[in-house]
Structure 1
């Protein structure tokens, strides 16, 4: 009798083991599409997924972008993994180019976006971030994609009311409050994700803070959040006492992968490690780079004058804005942002920003 029970138990365990193995194999052989794989988040995500044995298809608009991603893999001595990426030329705003991209795709990480705080870029922001995301959602629905992960931003989070002191995922967006064109475009993109959910698409949204991570090449250090290191290295003299959320790019991609492999859908998650003042972050970066520490406090009236002067220069010399009204406001904002929701869900511990800055600075000095 004991032998019979053992045999039955052994058969059950074997069936369960075979089922788990089959499920794992099915996932490993799924085709995963990554948009924005030539950017900071997308390139790190591709590396992370390939290290986990996943199959990756990525889209690009120009071959220079591919080389930037290759540089990241070289930086981490993983160039052999880079060669396994299936690259297809496409643009998220060009519907015909996306037709073959979605063939046999099981999951999609939508990281592609246009980032600008220049009011002159309003039309391009809307076309890329809203219309482009709508195209991705439509192709996911048409091709029965199993799940979509969309990378949004803390710029789309709600606005605190008088009795509230911390911004969370449920904080309501107030359309009457001032928001940058970038924030509005990303908020509109999120609306496309929620539309997809109503039409049957499984999806999750992540809202990272300012993402800190190494750029694979010199061009990348002049754009996005990486530009902070370049400006400090070049002797940035000013700082402000406003604060916001910061997070490591590696933490972001780890959480994205976890959410996509979980049964979570129809939810958004704030991803920040810490709320820190710009003063502390800039001075920490300067210390890590061993350069002059920013020492001049840019008060509100100074940034108010600066964005107006920058506007005049942009009109006279027809150049892109370096400081907009919304950016000036953000530099002095002190709203607290919470990422407790994701911490509770997956018992996740974010890497301290001091350590992140040290790591990124080491890459920068190379």
Structure 2
């Protein structure tokens, strides 16, 4: 199968290219720049910035399926919330629908959209993991734009027959992960005492290897067209458990101080870190039971193995 992958130089897109090539597919990588940094064996095509005016003709020629993993997550250098919202709208909504419409015109059969569990909400209720049937409760420009893109894609699918598959992952970790996950590993490497020893939440994660395996299946499985697929490792951890597991993978002991969660949240809120506090203290669980039942899929890599692989790469590169 000939497949176009967007976001090909990102964490997910880069790993997906390798997975698809190893699976025997012909892979084309859509890039903003000149084609550097992509896996040998794939065909790089420069498309420039993604937006409502992007021309996809060359990239889509002869393609049977698209995995759209590119998107605007953060402000991209913008300093105002208004500018961030505008960028998310242009890239994640208008850019996605523009690509999908041109994919229909080019004869593409299936369109796999990498969305986010944040469409369900920022956190789940205690003991009630998110499901695909939940009423969406997105918060913030990024999650709202992903929900709007999902809605537009489903509408286009109804009009055109394009097989749209929406995949909502939680936090993705693996070799090369950045942002908060990398920060946690840095804290542990330096032996910083952390006030998270009493955090008894439950959070779902998805290993990079597991996500790309699931995306590969979503490209070919006959039952998945028109579905919303939730992704996760199938083993949930508290923040304190995650930190201890990461420290153990480093051969260290996590220095966790048992501060009550409400005090942690209040203290971080006073420092302007309210969003980070919620991510560290609240629940965010994902039910992958329907995913495994529909696709016969099980995460191929255990959480233990994936955490050790992530830590090993971090230590080697830091």
- State how 1:327-346 maps to structure 2 within 5 Å: 327-346=276-295
Q: Are residue 347 (structure 1) and residue 296 (structure 2) matched?
A: yes
Query: Do structure 1's residue 182 and structure 2's residue 142 form an aligned pair?
Result: yes
Which consecutive residues of structure 1, in runs of 5 or more, have no partner in the other structure?
Answer: 1-26, 71-81, 216-220, 311-322
Per the alignment, do residues 335 and 37 of structure 1 end up closer, same or farther by CA in structure 2, a change over 3 Å counting? closer
Q: Secondary structure at the match of 1:116?
A: coil
The structure-2 alpha-carbon separation of the partners of 1:66 and 1:223, relative to structure 1 and needing over 3 Å to count, comes to farther
In 2: Cα distance, 1:57 partner to 1:276 partner: 36
Counterpart selection for 1:306 from 245, 268, 271? 268
How far has the Cα of 1:107 moved from its partner?
Answer: 0.9
* Alignment-derived partner of residue 188 in structure 2: 232
Q: Residue 127 and residue 331 in structure 1: after superposition, are their counterparts in 2 closer, same or farther (change >3 A)?
A: farther
Q: Does 1:271 align with 2:231?
A: yes
Residue 107, structure 1, aligned to residue 68, structure 2: no
Q: Distance in 1 between matches of 2:153 and 2:311?
A: 35
In the other structure, the counterpart of 1:359 is 309
CA contact (8 A) 1:213 1:226 kept: no
Residue 88 of structure 1 and its aligned partner are, at CA, apart by 2.2
Match in the other structure for 1:319: none
Distance 1:333 1:163 in 2: 9
TM-score normalised according to structure 2 size:
0.84
Task: Report the equivalent of 2:104.
Answer: 141
The Cα shift of 1:270 comes to 0.8
Structure 1 residues 44, 301: CA separation in 2 closer, same or farther (over 3 Å shift)?
Answer: same
Paired with 1:162 and 1:107, the residues of 2 have a C-alpha distance of 36
TM-score scaled by structure 1? 0.74
Measure how far apart 1:146 and its partner are: 0.7
Partners of 1:237 and 1:295 within 8 A in 2: yes
Following the alignment from structure 2 to structure 1, what is the Cα–Cα distance between the partners of residues 180 and 103? 28
With 97-106 and 227-236 compared, the bigger mean Cα shift is at 227-236
Q: Which residue of 1 aligns with 2:212?
A: 253
Q: Which residue number in structure 2 is paired with residue 204 of structure 1? A: 165
**Alignment partners' CA distance in 2, 1:193 and 1:161:** 25
Residue 150 of structure 1, CA deviation: 0.6
Cα offset for 1:171? Answer: 1.1
Partner Cα distance (1:303, 1:223) in 2 = 19
Report the more deviating stretch, 206-215 or 123-132.
123-132
| Number of positions where the alignment pairs a residue of Structure 1 with one of Structure 2 | 303
RMSD across aligned positions (CA): 2.8
Q: Is 1:244 the counterpart of 2:215 in the alignment?
A: no
Residues 165 and 358 of structure 1: CA distance in aligned 2, closer, same or farther (over 3 Å): same
> What is the aligned counterpart of 2:153 among 176, 193, 214?
193
Distance in 2 (CA, whole Å) between partners of 1:52 and 1:174 is 36
Task: Note if contact 1:247-1:272 (Cα within 8 Å) is conserved in structure 2.
Answer: yes
Aligned to 1:262: 221
Deviation at 1:85, TM superposition (A): 2.8
Q: Given that residues 31 and 44 in structure 2 are in contact (C-alpha distance below 8 angstroms), is that contact kept between their aligned partners in structure 1?
A: no
Given that 1:214 and 1:226 are in contact with CA atoms closer than 8 Å, whether structure 2 keeps it comes out as no
What does the per-residue CA deviation read over 1:162-209, in whole Å, with 9 as the maximum and x for residues that have no partner? 89823211011247xxx2332222222212221221222111111112
**In terms of Rg, which structure is larger?**
1
**Residue 37 (1) aligns with residue 14 (2):** no
- The answer to whether the 8 Å contact 1:285/1:361 transfers is yes
Q: What pairs up with 1:287-302 in 2 under 5 angstroms?
A: 287-291=248-252, 293-297=254-258, 299-302=261-264
Aligned 8 A contact 1:169 1:269 in 2: yes
In the alignment, which of 33, 36, 40 is matched to residue 66 of structure 1? 36
**SS of the counterpart of 2:16?**
helix
Corresponding residue to 2:23 among 35, 52, 55: 52
Q: What stretches of structure 2 of length at least 5 have no aligned partner? A: none
